[in-house]
Amino acid sequence: MRHLPFLGLMAAPFTPLNEKGDLNLDMVPVQANHLLKNGVKGVFVAGTTGECQSLTLQERMQLAQAWSVAVKGKLTFMIHVGHNSAREARELAKHAKSVGADAISSAAPCFFKPAAPADLVEFQAEVASAAPELPFYHYHIPLFTGVNGPVAPFLRMASKKIPNLVGVNSDLLECTILDGGRFEVLFGCDEMLLGAIAMGVRGAVGSTYNFAAPIYLEMMEAFEKGDVEKTRLLQEKSVAIVRLIQEFGGIPGGKALMGALGVECGPVRLPLHKLTKDEIQTLRDKFMVLSSISKLSNPHAV
């Protein structure tokens, strides 16, 4: 298996829903074009931001199919195939291969949790083996899975049982130097990206890249030029944006901002909180102040 490390920003897109809560797949091409326009290099479909655990297996496949058509080789296309059932995860991995995914990733099961790194290795090996031709990333997100064991022992053990393992979606910078930098780390903490870049990370996955990618790209450019003050100020702006989104529930807030940019992703599914019209307007007003929204938005948006 040949694999080139991912470089740049990979957005974790929101799953577009209509007001009835059904998939709104017609919006996927609009999302893809928006990301391309804003300099994003890849998409991580059906991850946490994509409300994967709130989607049916069929919906996840439909979403993957829609993104495969929308990106058409223009964006690196990674699909999250994690599931509490290893058999369902394998079906998602096979489907990802069939629709032309560039890579797959899987989070740990979050109901019956692996008790030790070796158990997690066995689970992920079962999933990865369903699409051995695709690069496989371990999706380490303990805040949601509750699986908070050390990643380094997992990677060392997994590399012996998962031939297509290439890296980890994580905010653990220690993995960048593990075994001489053997594993690729796609950094997953947007508000700490500057520190990751300083540590040598060159690829990142995040939800705020959906609506604030220009800020991060400007920050990365300033870092390369050695403009420390500008770099710091831009990262501080990112921190403020993340705090604002968290104030409005994370994913619900992010979806509301996409609508302000002319990319309507609709509401969230239960049990997430659906924002009221007043909450959405307050969020958008605060975001305009923080990010100079005129530089980020679709010029045709209303």
Model pLDDT, residue 243: 94
pLDDT over 70 (residue 64):
yes
Residue 13 has a pLDDT of 98
Query: What average pLDDT does the segment 4-17 reach?
Result: 94
- Whether residue 2 has pLDDT greater than 70: no
SS3 203: strand
Report the predicted TM-score, pTM, of the whole model to 2 decimal places.
0.92
Q: How far apart are CA 43 and CA 204, in angstroms?
A: 11
**CA atoms of 97 and 79, how far apart (whole Å):** 9
Check whether 274 has a pLDDT greater than 70: yes
> Given pLDDT bands bounded at 50, 70 and 90, which one contains residue 293?
very low
Phi-psi region of 272 (alpha: psi -120 to 50; beta: other; left: phi over 0): beta
Give which of 15, 35, 130 is closest to 83, Cα–Cα: 130
Q: Give the per-residue pLDDT at 200.
A: 86
Partners of 203 in beta bridges: 8, 186
DSSP assigned state of 23: B
Q: Give CA–CA dist 145/128, Å, rounded.
A: 18
233 has pLDDT over 70: yes
DSSP-assigned letter for residue 103: E
**Domain range list for the chain:** 8-295
User: Assign residue 250 a region: left if phi > 0, alpha if psi is -120 to 50, beta otherwise?
Assistant: left
Give the rounded percent of residues in the chain with a pLDDT score beyond 70. 94
The two most distant CA atoms of the chain are separated, in Å, by 53
* DSSP E strands, 200-269: 203-206
More confident residue, 110 or 299: 110
Instruction: Look at residue 116 and tell me whether its pLDDT is greater than 80.
Output: yes
Kindly report which listed range (108-122, 166-180, 287-301) carries the lowest average pLDDT score: 287-301
SS3 291: helix
Does residue 181 have a pLDDT over 80?
no
Instruction: Please give the CATH topology (third level) of the domain spanning 8-295.
Output: TIM Barrel (3.20.20)
Alpha helices in 41-165 (DSSP H): 57-71, 86-98, 117-128, 142-145, 151-161
Residue 21 pLDDT grade (very low, low, confident, very high; cuts 50, 70, 90): very high
Average predicted confidence (pLDDT) for the chain: 92
Is the link from the previous residue into 252 a cis peptide, with omega within 30 of 0? no
Single out the residue of 298, 282, 197 nearest to residue 238, CA to CA. Answer: 197
Which residue bears the tokens 């994580």? 170
Q: Are the C-beta atoms of residues 88 and 53 closer than 8 Å to each other? A: no
Whether the pLDDT of residue 154 is over 50: the answer is yes
